[in-house]
Amino acid sequence: MTTQRTARTLHLAARPHGFPTPDLFTVHEAPVPEPAPGTAVVENLYLSVDPYHREAMDDGGWALGVPLEGRALGRVTASRAPGFAEGDLVLHREGWRTHAVVEPGEGRVRKVPAYDGVPLTAYLSILGGTGLTAYVALTRTLEFRAGQDLFVSAAAGGVGTAVGRIARLLGAGRVVGSAGSPAKVAWLTGELGFDAAFDYHDGPVGELLAKTAPGGIDAYVDNVGGDHLEGAISVLREHGRIAWVGAISQYHSAHEPPAAPRNLFDIVEKSLRLEGVMVRNYGDVQQELEDFLVPHLQSGAVVPDVTVVDGFERTVEGFLGMLRGGNTGKMLIRVAD
């Protein structure tokens, strides 16, 4: 059953210089499409807005003047695709729009697994690409073991909160994090159970981290890059490991060489290991993530950490808000109930 007659899509009209502005995006309306043979029409319920979308706004990323892509969760409203029926909930990549035409079999759409008692928002946060990034960074890249001490940057965000929660389940020793406000620091050490946290605006990151983790750390999940990476290199113990997931401190100045880290040779001096993480290389770990986390979600021991912005018309506001740190947990847009 289609609940709306007009479909809206967001396009990128021009590329940003520095921090993006709302006028770079335009909204387009058209009748809700009918499914062609082999396809299904999906009414989107939730959209994911992500830091990689900022990178996609630059040259070589998104094309201008076409509907944008992003992860989304929606309900099938009409189907001529085998195996997909009206009412099915699906995950797909046709975000930044109210309605999508999906073609099963292309690897870009799958049914939402039917786990009782798991909130829908989990599938675009801790059970989605965000949680998978955290899980593979810990279990594959860091080969994280019980008792080890961990630092994670952008700790109050989507990947950061998932890292904190999963590390606890893996038996972490001390878990410390950085975030961009005193409220986030309090939330991390209160609700999220971090042992300590700091606001990276309060001074040089290396000094703040050294005070927060006076005994050093064994492992670091880097969401931020730059001075955070430099600080972690300086505080890591010998044979420590870094899973480099993202560099959000640098996404608005991609053409400028970063000022930090300036201590890369310490990687040699301390026999550290630094490895990049790309979640798209770990699709085969998705089922393992679900087997690991779903019982904890069902028992309530783990909850999806999300900030939900209501209304398709507020998608760009939510996206820019996430880039500014307006979210705790994963930033999602609720398009429909």
Phi, psi of 94 (to 5 degrees): -95, 65
Scan residues 19-48 and list those touching ligand NAP (CB under 6 A): none
Single out the residue of 95, 246, 261, 318 in contact with ligand NAP (rule: CB under 6 A).
246
249 contacts ligand NAP (rule: CB under 6 A): yes
Smallest distance from the beta carbon of 249 to ligand NAP, in angstroms? Answer: 4
Binding-site string for ligand NAP from residue 285 to residue 314, where x marks contact by CB under 6 A and - marks none? ------------------------------
The DSSP annotation for 17-51 comes to SSS--GGGEEEEEEEPPPPPTT-EEEEEEEEE--H
Tell me, rounded to whole angstroms, the distance of Cα 17 from its chain centroid. Answer: 23
User: Which span sits near ligand NAP by CB under 6 A: 60-68, 73-81, 246-254, 310-318?
Assistant: 246-254
The two most distant CA atoms of the chain are separated, in Å, by: 63
Count how many residues are written for the chain: 337
Query: Does residue 278 touch ligand NAP according to CB under 6 A?
Result: yes
**Cα 274 off chain centre by:** 21
Return the residues of window 137-156 that contact ligand NAP according to CB under 6 A: 154, 156
For the record, the structure tokens of 258 come out as 């970063």
Beta-strand pair 40-48/330-334 = antiparallel
Give the x-and-dash track for 119-138 against ligand NAP (CB under 6 A).
-----------x--x-----
CB of 248 to ligand NAP, least distance (A): 4
Stretch that binds ligand NAP, among 74-82, 85-93, 163-171, 327-335 (CB under 6 A): 327-335
**Residue for token digits 């560099």?**
247
Q: Is 175 exposed, middle or buried (0-12, 13-18, 19+ CB in 10 A)?
A: buried
Nearer to ligand NAP, 78 or 179 (CB): 179
Q: Kindly state the smallest distance separating residue 10's Cβ from ligand NAP, in Å.
A: 18
CA distance 58 to 43: 29
Cα torsion angle, 179, 188, 168, 149, sign: positive
How many binding residues for ligand NAP (CB under 6 A)? 31
Told to check if 158 binds ligand NAP by CB under 6 A, we report yes
Piece of 102-110, 111-119, 243-251, 255-263 that binds ligand NAP (CB under 6 A): 243-251
The C-alpha angle 28, 30, 35, rounded to 5 degrees, equals 130
332 binds ligand NAP (CB under 6 A): no
- What's the closest the beta carbon of residue 5 comes to ligand NAP, in angstroms? 33
Task: Please report whether residue 279 would count as binding ligand NAP according to CB under 6 A.
Answer: yes
Distance CA 295, CA 302 (A): 9
User: Could you check whether the bond before residue 261 is cis, i.e. omega within 30 degrees of 0?
Assistant: yes
Q: Is 230 in the site for ligand NAP (CB under 6 A)?
A: no
Q: Is 98 in the site for ligand NAP (CB under 6 A)?
A: no
235 binds ligand NAP (CB under 6 A): no
Residues 6+ apart with CB under 8 A from 206: 227, 230, 231, 234, 235
Residues that bind ligand NAP (CB under 6 A): 50-52, 130, 133, 154, 156-160, 179-181, 184, 200, 223-224, 245-249, 277-279, 322, 325, 327, 330-331
